[in-house]
A and B are shown apart, each in its own frame.
Chain A
Amino acid sequence: MRFAEKIIESLCVSTRQPMPGGIKPPDYKQETLRSRLMPTPIPEELILPLAQHGNSRSRPLVKPGDKVLKYQAIACSDVTGIVDLHAPTSGIVLAIENFPIPSPVDKESKCILLKKDGLDAEIDHNTLANYRSLSYLELIKLIEQAGIFGLGGAEYPSRLKLKSGKNKKIKLLIINAVECEPYITADEALLREKAQFVVQGAEILQAACMAEHCVIVIESNKADAIKALEQTQLNSSIELFKIAAKYPTGSEKQLIQAVTSKEVPSGKYPTDIGILMHNAGTAYAVYQAVIEGKPCISRITTLAGGSLKTPKNFEALIGTPIDYLLNLCGLNQQTHTMTLMGGPLMGVKLARTDVPILKTTNCIIAASEDKFPPASIELACIRCGFCADVCPASLLPQQLYLYAKCQNFSELISHGLNDCIECGACAYVCPSNIPLIQYYRASKDELASQLENKISSEQWKQRFQHHQYRVKKDKEARRDSKRRETIKPTELTLKISPPIFSREAAKKEIAAAVVRVRKRKAQFIASSGGENTETDK
């Protein structure tokens, strides 16, 4: 507490202002916190997508039929923004083919299908007693080799985040343990049971980004996690900072505003104002990577929802099929209406459940009818302004809605559509049941494709100009060749002698040409046009 308040005081430009807006939905967190964090049994087959996020894929290092050991790297990439993939268990690579991946539409992507052999044999890995002997570059390298993503859901490789801090001076490292969305308790369960590892991971992260100070931010209502943290951080320089529970404080920019009252400027990153944020899950993964030498092969995932008999948190291996986990929790098929990946407010509805857990999957909700009723009919906007009151980014959702409806993109941008974090607070309070977030997401997609079109249209414009130029040239050439055809090609014109570069030969050729021309002139009086084109050519 001592230093944290001082740092935060020093970072404050004006008087402290909490995050604007926000909502307090019922959190339904207790049911998943009843049981302890359990490692999952290993499923028969694991599906490991080469593209852990977005469309960019890593390159597989194994072939079908290869035997792999646990922790062995099975895919890597030279492209920045993609991390390595490691085998979660030992077994045989069955195939590298297209399999369905988590998506709101039925989408397939290239995945490595791994069949377990049951031995769970590990590859050799080095453990490290004291990370302080390593330089920050070595630490970043270790984190890079472990293939760690921002496990909070931002899908940004941790090493890039750490490297970005190298050029800019980082004053404050924030470990984000704020899980504001209902149902999700992955970080809370982690802190409750593995607080000392998270704190150690935070210390490593602090050393890796050379931040002056480090705070763990947590909501004040997570009593168990706070207790566990307070016990472990006694002999550590890391501070604990408690904030009031409010949705969506867990979002990066909103949390920075809630903690430091500093607003990250639109279109900039937190590092630009000297702050770096990492998720508590990332800190744990970093601890495992650096101290235990284990790459990121599992993550803590909450399985919740009204259709599950025993909702709980799992330390699930990456690549575990979602339906396997759902069945472990006792899925009730009768009440199960849909599956959500992510929280109830920001998550996406999955098209199918035979898809794998990714490094960013923090929550799976097996929804039931009573908590997730079908969408009500959209009514007209009555301009009540509730949405503007709750918007954490201080936008005007009702204006954005109107512009999204008439697809006025220039106005959408000037009203700050790109600053919308799609938290769903506006749609939550809307009395007219307008699916606002869908309007914004659709508009963002449309804007992205427009930008793409702008680039391609410039290309098309140039190609069209070139096409016209080419057609004109072709036409001229054809006209000329037609004229040429009217002249009967004589033997002389057809004969092509190989060029001999000597004075004598040149003289001969010139003389021959003169004779030829005279002959032709005599033959065709009106053939000057044809002669011209030939010389032109």
Chain B
Amino acid sequence: MEAFIENQFVRFVLLISTAVFLAYRLLLVSKYLCKEYLKQKSMVDRINSYLPQTQCGRCGYKGCLPYARAISQGDMINKCPPGGISTILNLVELLNEPGLRLNPAHGVFQPPLTAVIREEECIGCTKCIQACPVDAILGAPKLMHTVITDECTGCDLCIEPCPVDCIDLVLLPTSSPRYWLNPIIQNSRFNTLETN
């Protein structure tokens, strides 16, 4: 037996086979890691596709993509007020997590609003332009600013920096008129909106 192992050729074969085995294992591991990485990346994209993309930052992150990344690493899914119940339901389905109610600490659901600048009051400070996450405000220093209505996400980030409070959030009529309110919503959730 000893003589057999001592044999040069046998030793060579053993060495080669061990090397091949190890290389194969390494390949498997790296493949697995790659797969995981891609999965996570695509997962972030998929989570992001369910977020409303208002970029309002109410979740505590700077935009929807950072929040999607945080969710993929285990953050709570109920921090997005603009997405409302439908976002949570979609995420529950995607991530197979237990359903949660919207966390009121981050705000309540509202129908999509649009910012409108009261143009005669605007002093042209450009502060709202800097705050807008989607570059939906047009203007130049000391000149009147205006909101590109089609591009506005209604994130309300421009409200706070305005020194003269000349920006309003309004409910613009959409192309699909919404006459019919869900009877439940009519009774509870929208009441808070009416009192505002």
**How far apart are the CA atoms of A272 and B121 in the complex, in Å?**
57
Q: Do most interface residues of chain B lie in helix, strand or loop, or is the interface mixed? A: loop
**How far apart are the CA atoms of A461 and B151 in the complex, in Å?**
11
A405 contacts across to B, CB distance below 8 A:
182, 184
Q: Which of A105, A441, A442, A466 contacts B185 (CB 8 A)?
A: A442
Highest count of chain B CB atoms <10 Å: which of A104, A406, A443, A461: A461
A460 lies within 8 A of B53 (CB) = yes
A460 lies within 8 A of B183 (CB) = no
- Residues facing A in B21-75 (CB within 8 A) are 48, 51-55, 63-65
Indicate with 1 or 0, residue by residue over A436-473, a CB within 8 angstroms of chain B CB atoms.
Answer: 00110111111011101100111111011011101000
A467 lies within 8 A of B135 (CB) = yes
A404 lies within 8 A of B182 (CB) = yes
A445 lies within 8 A of B183 (CB) = no
**How far apart are the CA atoms of A444 and B132 in the complex, in Å?**
32
Stretch binding the partner chain, chosen from B9-17, B100-108, B162-170, B171-179? B171-179
B182 lies within 8 A of A439 (CB) = yes
B125 at interface, CB cutoff 8 A:
no
CB of A346 to closest CB in B, whole Å: 13
Stretch binding the partner chain, chosen from A71-79, A317-325, A407-415? A407-415
B176 closest partner in A (C-beta): A448
**How far apart are the CA atoms of A441 and B184 in the complex, in Å?**
13
Interface residues on A, range: 35 or more
A466 contacts across to B, CB distance below 8 A:
135
A103 at interface, CB cutoff 8 A:
yes
A461 lies within 8 A of B53 (CB) = yes
A530 at interface, CB cutoff 8 A:
no
With known contacts A438-B183, A466-B135, A467-B135, A460–B178 Cβ distance under 8 A: no
A457 lies within 8 A of B52 (CB) = yes
CB of A470 to closest CB in B, whole Å: 7
With known contacts A449-B174, A450-B86, A464-B63, A105–B134 Cβ distance under 8 A: no
B178 lies within 8 A of A463 (CB) = no
**How far apart are the CA atoms of A459 and B177 in the complex, in Å?**
22
A378 at interface, CB cutoff 8 A:
yes
With known contacts A439-B183, A445-B179, A467–B64 Cβ distance under 8 A: no
Interface residues on B, range: 35 or more
B183 lies within 8 A of A464 (CB) = no
A435 contacts across to B, CB distance below 8 A:
183
A55 at interface, CB cutoff 8 A:
yes
Count A-B pairs with CB separation below 8 Å: 88
With known contacts A463-B136, A463-B151, A449–B176 Cβ distance under 8 A: yes
B85 contacts across to A, CB distance below 8 A:
406-407
A464 lies within 8 A of B134 (CB) = yes
CB of A178 to closest CB in B, whole Å: 27
CB of A447 to closest CB in B, whole Å: 9
Indicate with 1 or 0, residue by residue over B74-91, a CB within 8 angstroms of chain A CB atoms.
Answer: 000000000001100110
B182 lies within 8 A of A407 (CB) = yes
CB of B177 to closest CB in A, whole Å: 7
A442 lies within 8 A of B174 (CB) = no
B151 contacts across to A, CB distance below 8 A:
459-460, 463
With known contacts A435-B183, A439-B183, A470-B135, A460–B93 Cβ distance under 8 A: no
B53 lies within 8 A of A103 (CB) = no
CB of A223 to closest CB in B, whole Å: 38
A470 contacts across to B, CB distance below 8 A:
135
B184 closest partner in A (C-beta): A405
CB of B83 to closest CB in A, whole Å: 9
B55 lies within 8 A of A103 (CB) = no
A107 closest partner in B (C-beta): B177
A103 contacts across to B, CB distance below 8 A:
179
B183 contacts across to A, CB distance below 8 A:
378, 435, 438-439, 442
A470 closest partner in B (C-beta): B135
Indicate with 1 or 0, residue by residue over A69-110, a CB within 8 angstroms of chain B CB atoms.
Answer: 000000000000000000000000000000000011101000
B177 contacts across to A, CB distance below 8 A:
55, 107
A453 contacts across to B, CB distance below 8 A:
52, 112
B180 contacts across to A, CB distance below 8 A:
438, 441-442, 444-445
Q: Which of A55, A448, A461 contacts B64 (CB 8 A)?
A: A461
Q: Which of B89, B93, B134, B175 contacts A463 (CB 8 A)?
A: B134
**How far apart are the CA atoms of A35 and B156 in the complex, in Å?**
60
B55 lies within 8 A of A464 (CB) = yes
A406 contacts across to B, CB distance below 8 A:
85, 89
**How far apart are the CA atoms of A99 and B152 in the complex, in Å?**
29
**How far apart are the CA atoms of A227 and B110 in the complex, in Å?**
58
**How far apart are the CA atoms of A457 and B180 in the complex, in Å?**
23
B84 closest partner in A (C-beta): A407
**How far apart are the CA atoms of A464 and B90 in the complex, in Å?**
22
B181 at interface, CB cutoff 8 A:
yes
A463 lies within 8 A of B135 (CB) = yes
B178 lies within 8 A of A104 (CB) = no
**How far apart are the CA atoms of A435 and B151 in the complex, in Å?**
37
CB of B102 to closest CB in A, whole Å: 12
**How far apart are the CA atoms of A443 and B85 in the complex, in Å?**
13
**How far apart are the CA atoms of A406 and B92 in the complex, in Å?**
14
A405 closest partner in B (C-beta): B184
**How far apart are the CA atoms of A468 and B133 in the complex, in Å?**
8
A439 contacts across to B, CB distance below 8 A:
182-183
Q: A443-B182, A460-B134 are in contact. List 7 more A-B contacts (CB 8 A).
A: A406-B85, A409-B89, A449-B112, A459-B151, A460-B151, A464-B53, A464-B65
Residues of B within 8 A of A (CB): 48, 51-55, 63-65, 85-86, 89-90, 93, 112, 132-136, 150-151, 153, 174-185
Residues of A within 8 A of B (CB): 55, 103-105, 107, 348, 378, 404-410, 435, 438-439, 441-446, 448-450, 452-453, 456-461, 463-464, 466-468, 470
Between A and B, 12 residue pairs with Cβ closer than 8 Å are A406-B89, A438-B183, A448-B176, A449-B174, A449-B178, A456-B150, A457-B51, A460-B134, A463-B151, A464-B65, A464-B134, A467-B135
